Each structure stands twice: as structure tokens, then as C-alpha cells.
Structure 1
Amino acid sequence: MVLSNCRGIFSMLLSLWLLASTPVLAIWPAPSSISTGDSTLWIGPMLSVSYNGKPLPWTFGYEPKGSQFSSSEIVKGGVGRAMKSIVQSNFVPWMLYNRMELEQTEPSLSKPKTYVTHLDITQTKADTSKTFKPLAGDVDESYSLDVDKSGKASIKAVSSTGVLRALESFSQLFFQHSQGPFFYTKSAPVSITDKPEYDHRGVLFDVSRSFFPMDSILRTIDAMAYNKMNRIHIHATDSQSWPLEIPALPELHQKGAYAKGKTYSPSDLATIQQYAISRGIEPIIEIDTPGHFGIAALSHPNIVAGWESAPWTAYCAEPPCGQIRLNEPSVDPFLDKLMNDLLPRVSPYSAYFHTGGDEVNFNMYKLDPTVATNDSAVIVPLLQKFIDKHHARVRKAGLVPMVWEEIPASYNVTVGKDVLIQSWLGDEAIAALTAQGHKVITSNYNFWYLDCGRGQWLNFAGADLATYYPFPDWCSPYKNWRLVYSYDPRANLTGDQAKLVVGGELAAWSESIDDATIDDILWPRASAAGEVLWSSPKGRSQFEAAPRLAEFRERLIARGIKSGTVHMPYCTQGQNATACLYQ
């Protein structure tokens, strides 16, 4: 009885606190520091903007072009997108109010209006080449944003990237009025000071298991920018298909793509890279090696071992099998040609290149005539030689290699201290890697594999039907936003180890994902991770996060991102997250 009463009092107090919250607190991800008032300001399409003391003319939909990046062009594009979000892609925030209370609570259109008429942007340091192709930690993304009661708005940031993050927060201050195209905030004055907790905040986008049209990739980059994420990792090839056009080796896509036209041309790749950088997002390209490489057998059978070997379960993680031969003389000339074509088209846009390295199956090398054994004593030295040569190619192009954790952790292959390790096997793996001094990004499959829990994509027959019923996938259950939000990438690490975890990526492996479903798969679950990586939810609960995430989801929908749901509206309407409290 006492416990029940305590729960009731807690729920009531929490409810009152949440109801007292103002709409501006819905900013996602949560800023480091924010203060708000209760005055109303309006905004329209005639906003004037200055950048470092000079007028900055802007237009809706402006897109910087080319590979030579200009700070003012980056900021100009950011202003145009922010204003489009405010006055062309906004929404009526009925869910911020209790049932049927919106019209009685939103500001009156008939009363005099104070407008935000000018935005003053100051960048305190000049951008460098590292701003647009940074290693983790190279860019200061911090900013401050102030809007006073008279409508004067100002942004101060160290870099143009910080300006973009501030403009995203600015765009989230405003809502559309229920009576028409009028846009307001009820929370002036607003003062925000903000910076990210982690330097690497990303999404892994697999375009090889399923083919995704360009619009799908660009739309995902937009959604990442709305979430202040800053890395898109494109898993460009795998054993199932080779959609990436390599002009020096056209036979790779001509024979390895799923169909004619289901490819990405050099122009497409440049578009993706430039589009990302203009939004403060670094594109990282992965060609997985030496495993997950089977498709190259269709054009270069001499460099691949075990193509389509059966039973596949004995030779690879998923069909079709095929790995690069480890002692074949023609492999090095092939990889030289491949990398000499691709890396110069990557290096203007990224500091990293991902060389893969996951799920190498030693049994496969029984089928490799240049190895003919699965003995690790034979294979590991060959893997070491392969990685040393391949990472030398990457470094020669001025890029830093990335690898999956199996290379150092499972195969005992030595990698350089510059190499960034991507870990997916869980907290113990991260602890072991950081204890050895490796820099790590986490994609812990227990929390951040977004393809999990949707059922098997393999087919079963005969006796297997009973064995595998009800056909869960290997990494079930489904990771809902609460689980994603609960993950702490630096949990149980020492201070020195924690510093080596530079961030993380949500993984969208595409065996059962395509263009029709990618938005629902990623969002709002990746938004939850976006807040973990931006401002670390320690001290914040689901009760505090749920109304903000539900509101932010409405912003994603208004901006053309077909996000999944957070709750039914009943659970958070009026910013009261206790309506669906488990008791």
C-alpha cells in the first residue's frame, strides 16, 4: 500500500513537472545547456541573415556545389534548409497540449506580433581542410544560440559545422499555427550552449545486400543532419552484389550488380559525398576485404576462393560465400588497380577508408589452392601480410584505415595505432580493445543493430521447419528506441579506456531492408542513439525523453522522413510521459 502511494505521488509530481515543460525543451538531441522564457515570437520567410558581419543572402533549397568547400556556402545552405524546415516543412504541435487544448493555448493571431527579423551568425575561427574531412576530434562542433524577447537572434560557433548544428536547433524552436502558415515559438528568450559528447556519431548504410536509389541515401543524410549526426558509413560492396562503378575495372559492376542501372557511378558517389559534407557529415566508404568479397568471382575468378561453396554454413556467415585468396600473385595487382581508381575519389571528402575485415572464415582457405588449409598458424601470417599491404594503400592515399574488430581481436593481426576499430561484439570486446590502446567506435549488436528482431531472411524446409520455428533471426529481439537509448558506449571502462571510445554507429544491414522500409528501420531509433552520442542521457529518463522524441518524430515526418512511431499519442500528449507508465 505504501509502495503504491509512493508510485502515485511520484507519477503525479513527474506529470506536473513534464506538463510545466515548454515546447522548446523538445529540441533533439538535448542541448548541453538551455534556458527558456514564456514570451511569444513569430518568424517568416523574410528573415535577414548576416555572417561574420556581412549580409548573407539565402534562398530555400540552396545547395552548395563542387568539391571546393566554402564556409560561407556551407552556412548559406544551412540557413536555407533551416528556414525551409520552419516555414515550408513545419507541423502543428497538437501533441504538446492536452486533449482539445491546442486552439485555446496557442498564441492568438489577432494580437500584435513580435517577429524574429534578423539572425546574426558569427564564426570565431576560420575553417581548414580538416573541417570538411576530419579525423575524430578535428572539428569543434560547439555553438551558442540566443534569441531575446525583442526577436534578436544570434549564433556563435567555432566552425561552420558548429553553425549547422546551431541552425538545426534554431529550426526546432518554431511551430506552425493551426490556423494557417504562421510560425511561432512561445519560449523566448532562449539561450542554448551546446557541444557533442562523442566525435563520431554515425549510421552504417548497407547498399550491397539491397540496392538503394540515390534519393534514399540523400534522404538519410538529411535525417542524420536533423539529428546532429556526423558520419555516414557506406558499406558499398559485399558477396551479394557490387553496385559501385570502378572505371578502371568496369567488369566488377557489369557482372556483379543486381541489374543494369542498379549501380552508383563516379558522379553519384561524388554527389553523395558532397551532399553529406555540406550538411556537416563525413562519408566513409567501405570495401570489405578479404571476406564478404565473393561477387568479384563473376569477373575475377582467379582472386576469389570458394565462390558459392556449399554447404554455405561451413564456409561463410551468409550466402553466397567467397573470400580473397591470400597467397595468389594476381591479388595485389588487382587491389592496386582498384584502390588507385577509388581512393583518389574518396580522399577529397573523407579522412577514413574502411577496409572491412569481419567474419573471415578459415575453413574457406581449405578451398583456396594457394593456402589449402584452415590452420591458423598458416593463415594468420598471410592475413597479417594482406592487412599490412592493404593499409599501406590506404595511407598512401592520405587516408586512415578502419577495420572491423575481428582483425585485431579474433585473428591476432597487428594494426597501426592510427587505425580506427569498429566493434560490434559487445561491451567485453570494447573493454578488451581499449585495454590494448585501440581507438574504437561501437556498433554493439545487442543495442544498435537495427535489422535485428524482424525474423529470418533465410528460408527453411522439411524438418528444419520445426527446428527453427518461429524463425527468429540471429540477433533477436528487435531493438526498440528504449533499448537503443539505454546503451552507454563507455560503461564500465576506466577513464583512459573511455577516452578511446570516440563514438558509435547504428547498423542498418540490408538483407531485409530496402528503399520502402529504410526510414522506418532507422528512425526514430537512430534518433535515440543520436542523443546518446550527442549529449549522453545520463540523468535523463524515458519519461523526459519520450515526449521530446515523439515531437521530434513529427518534425521528421513534416520534413519528408517516413519515421516509425514512438508511442500512440495518448502516451505523451501534453508532454505527460506518465500516462503509459508501467505500474
Structure 2
Amino acid sequence: MFRLLLLYGFTLLSFIGLSLAQLEPSWGYKCEHNNCKKVELTADNKKTAVSLSVCRLYCNLDAIGTLWPKPTGIVQIGNDVVKISPNEITFKTESFKREPAYWSMATERFIAMQKKKLPFKYSIRSGGKSLIIEVTVESDDMVFTLDTYEGYKLKISENNDGVHAVITAKNFYGARNALESLSQLIVYDNIRNEILAVAAVEIEDEPKFKYRGILLDTSRNYFSIDSIKRTIEGMAMVKLNTFHWHITDSHSFPLVVKSQPELSKLGAYSPEKMYTPEDVEEVVRFAKARGIRVLPEFDAPAHVGEGWQHKDLTTCFNAQPWKDYCVEAPCGQLDPSKDEVYNVLEDIYREMIEHFQYPDIFHMGGDEVSVSCWNSSSSLQNWMIAKGWNLNESDFMKLWGYFQNNALERLDKANFKKVPIILWTSRLTEEPFLSQYLNNQRYIIQIWTKGDDPQVQTILEKGFKMIVSNYDALYLDCGFGAWVTEGNNWCSPYIGWQKIYDNRMETIAGSYVNQVYGAEAALWTEQVDEWTLDARLWPRVSAMAERLWSNPEDGWRAAESRMLVNRKRLVDIGGLSAERLQPEWCLQNEGDCPI
């Protein structure tokens, strides 16, 4: 061991010795026809040469430099950069007195992000101006709802005191988004070995869509809290605002519900693979400091199984052959005829609501209910017949509506207030059942079918608000090998970032686009765990983030070079193992790779 340390130390010292002479860059860049073009550094041009990171700030201002997502409002950017000291960043504000801890977390994160831009090989040149960030918000209220305004104004200027960044916003969430943009206007210059910021800029920015989310399924495979937080960190970097936690399913019940301890004791894969109330609260706090709501989902009446073994409240649990009773093993559905079902649900809802800090919306799942599963229970059949019902599909839809009404009543009781409820598209969201059993003033419908499914227009015509997760563009588990048979999985092919970027809400919703809150990329995890998580999500989700924030008129081609920069930022600053999109040569030779 001692010999290895000596060898490592010798090698490192040799590397540092070489770095001072040989690690200086050989190439600079010039802006030519809106592209950053590579030029060899010489003694004549070295003093005026521009690094790639600096060139990207100014070249092709229609693309708004390095910003992702691109701003939606007024943008004015100067032609100068100024050297700043990453050790001299100060914040000035009289705001955030109600919950100061969240602003402290946001500012600490901002400072840490700037230090991650520094080269690890050697120290940057000393000196540089102070960065003074002045923040004013209209309200200290930290409540986050679908009506919360997330816009901001950012103005950067330079004087003798330093570089001043002035942020004005209505609330914490807008101010936090401004910090994200400000961070992207600060770069490391590898020619001069210093940190530079844009010297003059004015930005007025707000998102086009209110709901911009990622769904992560943590039932089919378990994900550590660290991997969840890493995902949320990436979301913050591209201004997504909702982490949809599909925390339980028929495969496992990893959520600890203290009033119903059997659920996780029998339902988790192991004692180490549970989410305690403290874990949930930690994730919620972490996300809130990054401008992100954590949306809990308890999917029912289908998608239940493991954890419910001793309760005698389910039908067709783990029935075989499973394809006769559900879409994926193991099967399982709650039995709506049993009153105790609703008592257990109330306990689950109460504890979820408490530990998720009383969320402004709640997801009740409601997809893939199987009539054949319910119809396999003789006791449930007898209950329905005793009520004067038959055993036709319409009767089972009535049973489903009965369940939904009772479950919603218990949710409202546990929550002490009524919040918007999200349901997946299903047979229940088709006519005539949509009008019979669901209220468009209470329910938001999340579509997962194809974007051109006629059901979409029917739902919108009936006045429902919508969240889009069309599987042909936003299911990120598609395009891999099948896991229950040979060939590819059911929703193949693989969906590239380009298709995600061009997945427009106007195309899906048409004239009803104002009823679309936004969209959500879904990662179902039959074939994913925390070790493959990052590459499944990133940087593809960034494409959706810009579509929802900016909704640019241009397609993906205009964003291609910035996407490469965005991917590099996710890796370097976010620590994400984002999928590589192109050779690095394409990043350094902008415009020379596209056909």
C-alpha cells in the first residue's frame, strides 16, 4: 500500500509538473456565421483569443448563448466578460424571512456550483471582482401550487465595486430560477485560467407551461435517496418543477406507513429497501430548495399486491397465468366491496400527506384496472349481485366509480381540504364513464397513450385539464430488450432527445392547449435501477424542459449545439452520468456534424 501511494504521488507530481507547460490549450475560438469555430493559438492571437466557453456566451445570440432552457422574454446581452473571484460571492436581500433555511440552501448550492467549474488539476489565477447578488421578492410565501408564478428578472452590470446581479421576482421560486440562469452565465476560461461572467445582461423570463415533471417508479426496483436527490438536482438545473414519486406498486411497497406497518414489512424487497417518513421529508426539503414539488402517488385500485398479503383486501394477487388478469406480473387489485379497504387507504393518505408536507396536488393513479381480475372473485361477484348490479363491463365501471368516490372521500378527510387530483387515462376516462364518474372541476387527467389518441380530444372537450405523458415521446424506458419474452419491450423504439424536443403540446391538444398544464417524462423501472438511472433520463429530459419552459418555434436542430453544452454541464456541475450524444469533436467543432 505504501509503495502504491509513493508511485501515485510521483505520478501526480510529474503530471502537475507537465501541466504547467503542456496543459495550456492549443486552441481558441472565433464566432463565424453564428458558430464557434476552432482556431489554433499563436503568439500573435493568444492575448485576444476566446475560449470555447466564452465564445458560446455570445456567438449566435438567437440561441441565447449557453442558457438552457432559453428564456422566453426580453433578453439583452453585452459583448464583454469580466473576471470574478469564486471566493467573493455575496448575497444581499431583505426577503425570505418566513423560511430562511430554503434560501440559505439555494445560495449555498449556487456557490458550490461555481466552485465545481474550477479545474481540478491546478489553481486558477488569483484576483477577480466580487459578485454581488441583490435579490428582491414580493412575497415570502413558500406555498407552491399550479398557479404559482415562476418568472423572474435578472440584470447584470459592472462597476468599480464589482459585478452586480440584480434579481427581482414574485417569490422564492422565481428568484431560484434566476440563480439558475445566472449560474449559466458564469464560465471557466481555460485560456486565461480564470472564472468569467457576462458583464452586462438583462433577462425577463417565465415558463410557458406550469407543470414540468419527471415520474420515477421506485417500486419495480428500489432507488437510494442519494440517487433520487441526484435526479432532483438535474431537474433544478433545467428548471423542471415536479418530481412525481410513483413510490408503490404491486411489485413492492417500500413506503413505511406507521399505522399500517405490515405494508412495508411484507412488501419491501428487504429492510434496507424502505423509505421512512424521515427519508420522504428529506427528499421533500431537498426538492423545495430547488424549486421542485414532490408529488406523491398512491396508485389504486389496481397496482397493489405485495404488502397486502394478510389483509384479505385484494383480488387476483399474483394470479397465474398473469396475462389473463393484468398487464404485468404480479397482478393485484383492491376489492372495493370491503369497507376496511377505505380505512387502510385513509391511513396511507394521512401519512403520505403529512410527510410530503401537504402537497398542492395528489396523484391517485387509477390506470390498468382489469375487469377479469375483479370478476375472478366470487365474493365480489356476490356483493355486486346483492346490490342489483350485473357482471357486465358497465357494472364493473360502476364498481370502479364507487371505489373512486369512496377513496376520494377518505383522501379529503385525511387532508382537511380538497386539492386537485390527477388520474391516468384508462377505461374510466373514456365515454360514457368519464362523464358519469369524474368531475372536471376536481380531476386532472394525465394521458399516457399516444399523442394522437382520439381519447385526448374527448377529455379536453369535456372540460378536463390535462398533463401530457404520451408514451411515444415521453416514456423513457422504451427501446430496450423485453423482460418477459424475447425481442424489444412493448413501447420500442428508443426515443431520442430530438423527438422529445419536438413533442409539442399544441400538436396534441390543438385548440384546447390552454387546458394543458404541461407534461411529464415517465421512467418505469422494470429494467432500470439507480446504476442505470442517469443515462435513462439525461440529457433527454432536458429536451422536454426547454419545450415546456420556452416552447420555441424552432425544432431540435436549432438547439443541437446548446444541447451538447447542456449535457456537459449536467455531467460537470450536476455529477450526472448523462448519456453521451455525439463525439466531443462535435462539441468543439460547432455546426460541422449535422447533416
Task: Pick the TM interval, shorter chain.
Answer: 0.7 to 0.9
Cα distance, 1:388–1:335 mapped onto 2, change above 3 Å: same
Instruction: Give the letter aligned to residue 132 of structure 2.
Output: H
Q: Hey, what does 1:81 align to over in structure 2?
A: 109
- 1:535 aligned onto 2:558: no
Deviation at 1:158, TM superposition (A): 1.1
- 1:51 aligned onto 2:93: yes
Equivalent residues in 2 for 1:241-280, closer than 5 Å: 241-280=252-291
Measured in 2, the distance between the counterparts of 1:332 and 1:109 equals 65
SS in 2 for 1:447: helix
Instruction: State which structure, 1 or 2, has the greater radius of gyration over its C-alpha atoms.
Output: 2
Deviation at 1:142, TM superposition (A): 0.8
Residues 342 and 410 in structure 2, CA contact (< 8 A), matched pair in contact too: no
Cα distance, 1:15–1:526 mapped onto 2, change above 3 Å: farther
Which of the residues 399, 411, 418 maps onto 2:442? Answer: 418
Q: Hey, what does 2:499 align to over in structure 1?
A: 483
Q: Hey, what does 1:551 align to over in structure 2?
A: 565
Measured in 2, the distance between the counterparts of 1:491 and 1:91 equals 44
Which of the residues 495, 505, 511 maps onto 2:520? Answer: 505
Which of the residues 434, 437, 461 maps onto 2:463? Answer: 437
SS in 2 for 1:371: helix
Q: Hey, what does 2:166 align to over in structure 1?
A: 154
Deviation at 1:71, TM superposition (A): 4.8
Q: Hey, what does 2:36 align to over in structure 1?
A: 19
Residues 117 and 188 in structure 2, CA contact (< 8 A), matched pair in contact too: no
Measured in 2, the distance between the counterparts of 1:299 and 1:176 equals 59
Residues 26 and 549 in structure 1, CA contact (< 8 A), matched pair in contact too: no
For structure 2, list consecutive stretches of 5 or more residues without a partner in the other structure.
1-30, 38-54, 59-64, 382-389
Measured in 2, the distance between the counterparts of 1:422 and 1:31 equals 27
Task: Map Cα deviations across residues 163-198 of structure 1 (whole Å, 9 max, x no partner).
Answer: 00000111111122327873113x431221110011
Report the identity percentage.
29
SS in 1 for 2:547: helix
Deviation at 1:356, TM superposition (A): 0.6
Measured in 2, the distance between the counterparts of 1:543 and 1:91 equals 31
Task: Map Cα deviations across residues 425-445 of structure 1 (whole Å, 9 max, x no partner).
Answer: 122333221111101101110
Equivalent residues in 2 for 1:155-234, closer than 5 Å: 155-178=167-190, 182-185=194-197, 187-234=198-245
Measured in 1, the distance between the counterparts of 2:89 and 2:296 equals 38
SS in 2 for 1:490: helix
The alignment's TM-score, normalised by the length of structure 2, stands at: 0.82
Measured in 1, the distance between the counterparts of 2:76 and 2:463 equals 39
Measured in 1, the distance between the counterparts of 2:234 and 2:358 equals 20
Residues 503 and 533 in structure 1, CA contact (< 8 A), matched pair in contact too: yes
Instruction: Give the letter aligned to residue 530 of structure 1.
Output: A
Deviation at 1:314, TM superposition (A): 1.2
Instruction: Give the letter aligned to residue 129 of structure 2.
Output: Y
Q: Please provide the CA RMSD for this pair.
A: 2.4
Residues 116 and 153 in structure 1, CA contact (< 8 A), matched pair in contact too: no
* More off after superposition, 353-362 vs 401-410: 401-410
Cα distance, 1:109–1:181 mapped onto 2, change above 3 Å: closer
Q: Hey, what does 2:369 align to over in structure 1?
A: 360
Residues 364 and 374 in structure 1, CA contact (< 8 A), matched pair in contact too: no
- 1:28 aligned onto 2:54: no
Residues 450 and 508 in structure 1, CA contact (< 8 A), matched pair in contact too: yes
Measured in 2, the distance between the counterparts of 1:490 and 1:543 equals 19
Measured in 2, the distance between the counterparts of 1:492 and 1:212 equals 32
Measured in 2, the distance between the counterparts of 1:445 and 1:91 equals 40
Cα distance, 1:492–1:288 mapped onto 2, change above 3 Å: closer
Cα distance, 1:572–1:228 mapped onto 2, change above 3 Å: same
Q: Hey, what does 1:8 align to over in structure 2?
A: none
Deviation at 1:274, TM superposition (A): 1.4
Instruction: Give the letter aligned to residue 594 of structure 2.
Output: L
Residues 350 and 411 in structure 2, CA contact (< 8 A), matched pair in contact too: no
Measured in 1, the distance between the counterparts of 2:461 and 2:118 equals 47
SS in 1 for 2:286: helix
Which of the residues 371, 379, 386 maps onto 2:403? Answer: 386
Measured in 1, the distance between the counterparts of 2:340 and 2:105 equals 46
SS in 2 for 1:263: coil
Equivalent residues in 2 for 1:124-139, closer than 5 Å: 125-128=138-141, 131-134=142-145, 136-137=146-147, 139=148
Instruction: Give the letter aligned to residue 116 of structure 2.
Output: Q
Cα distance, 1:340–1:84 mapped onto 2, change above 3 Å: closer
SS in 1 for 2:437: coil
Measured in 2, the distance between the counterparts of 1:374 and 1:320 equals 24
Cα distance, 1:51–1:216 mapped onto 2, change above 3 Å: same
Residues 132 and 280 in structure 1, CA contact (< 8 A), matched pair in contact too: no
Instruction: Give the letter aligned to residue 140 of structure 2.
Output: D
Q: Hey, what does 2:46 align to over in structure 1?
A: none
For structure 1, list consecutive stretches of 5 or more residues without a partner in the other structure.
1-13, 57-68, 93-107, 461-467
SS in 1 for 2:536: helix
Deviation at 1:253, TM superposition (A): 0.6
* More off after superposition, 477-486 vs 429-438: 429-438
Measured in 1, the distance between the counterparts of 2:537 and 2:111 equals 25
Deviation at 1:214, TM superposition (A): 0.6
Deviation at 1:492, TM superposition (A): 5.5
Measured in 2, the distance between the counterparts of 1:442 and 1:299 equals 37
Measured in 2, the distance between the counterparts of 1:250 and 1:73 equals 32
Length, aligned pairs only? 516
Q: Hey, what does 1:41 align to over in structure 2?
A: 82
Residues 256 and 299 in structure 1, CA contact (< 8 A), matched pair in contact too: no
Residues 90 and 175 in structure 1, CA contact (< 8 A), matched pair in contact too: no
Measured in 1, the distance between the counterparts of 2:462 and 2:32 equals 46
Measured in 2, the distance between the counterparts of 1:174 and 1:305 equals 57
Q: Hey, what does 2:430 align to over in structure 1?
A: 409
The alignment's TM-score, normalised by the length of structure 1, stands at: 0.84
Measured in 1, the distance between the counterparts of 2:378 and 2:79 equals 74
Measured in 2, the distance between the counterparts of 1:525 and 1:337 equals 37
Measured in 2, the distance between the counterparts of 1:237 and 1:39 equals 52
Task: Map Cα deviations across residues 229-288 of structure 1 (whole Å, 9 max, x no partner).
Answer: 110000011011000000001111111111121000011111111111121111111111
Residues 90 and 555 in structure 1, CA contact (< 8 A), matched pair in contact too: no
